Amino acid sequence: MAPTSTRDLADSRSLERRVRLTDFRVDVANERACEAKVVVQWPDGPFFTGNAQGDGTPRGQLRCAAEATALALVQASKGKVALEVLAVKAVEGFDTVIVVVSLASQMGDLSERLVGSCLIKGQAPRGAVLAVLSATNRLFGHVVLAAKSN
């Protein structure tokens, strides 16, 4: 149903609240070990932290960052959403590098495969974090709608 007035439009926008990235860190000890910490927040809400460990290779850092993001998002959903990182890959194309993530999601009876991407600007692991957020933004809009209807 389309908004019929300015007030309806404002109300529909309030339902499109998105989880925001507030902090991100990847610590690399060596090629064998890295640790990622991702902190997300609903607008005007509490903070949710995800931590993950992995290998310190460039590919391992991407996966570690994606997994930490998925863990933070699961916490932000208060258990309504389950996420699993299936794959993370840096792809070269269009004269740039793009991080692509594939996720499995479960929300109630709904199972979906999600895909997100992000141009790498600076740190490649940060691109993986943003790609996970990109993949899940519509799903988390449904979490907000479900919470408002309860």
43 pLDDT more than 90: no
Residue range of the domain that includes 26: 18-149
Residue 132 within a domain: yes
Output 72 or 17, whichever has higher pLDDT. 72
Instruction: Tell me which of 144 and 126 has the higher pLDDT.
Output: 126
Count of the separate structural domains present in the chain:
1
C-beta separation of 130 from 94 below 8 A: no
Nearest to 83 by CA among 121, 136, 33: 136
Does residue 84 fall inside a structural domain? yes
Dist. CA 21–CA 118, nearest whole Å: 14
User: Which comes out higher in pLDDT, residue 11 or 114?
Assistant: 114
Read off the pLDDT band of 121 (50, 70, 90). confident
Q: CB of 12 within 8 A of CB of 3? A: yes
Asked whether the beta carbons of 41 and 22 are under 8 A apart, the reply is yes
End-to-end C-alpha distance for the chain, whole angstroms: 20
> Is residue 109 domain-resident?
yes
Residue for token digits 């895909």? Answer: 115
In angstroms, the CA 49 to CA 106 distance is 20
Residue 29 lies in a domain: yes
65-115 tens-digit pLDDT: 999 999 999 999 998 899 999 999 999 888 889 999 999 999 889 899 999
Nearest one of 24, 141, 120 to 76, comparing CA atoms: 141
Q: Which value, to the nearest 10 degrees, does the dihedral of the CA atoms of residues 39, 42, 46, 49 take?
A: -20
In a domain, 26, yes or no: yes
CATH number at residue 50: 3.30.160.270
85, part of any domain: yes
pTM over 0.85: no
Residues 22, 39: contact at Cβ < 8 Å?
yes
Q: Is residue 13 situated within a structural domain?
A: no
Confirm whether 8 is domain-assigned.
no
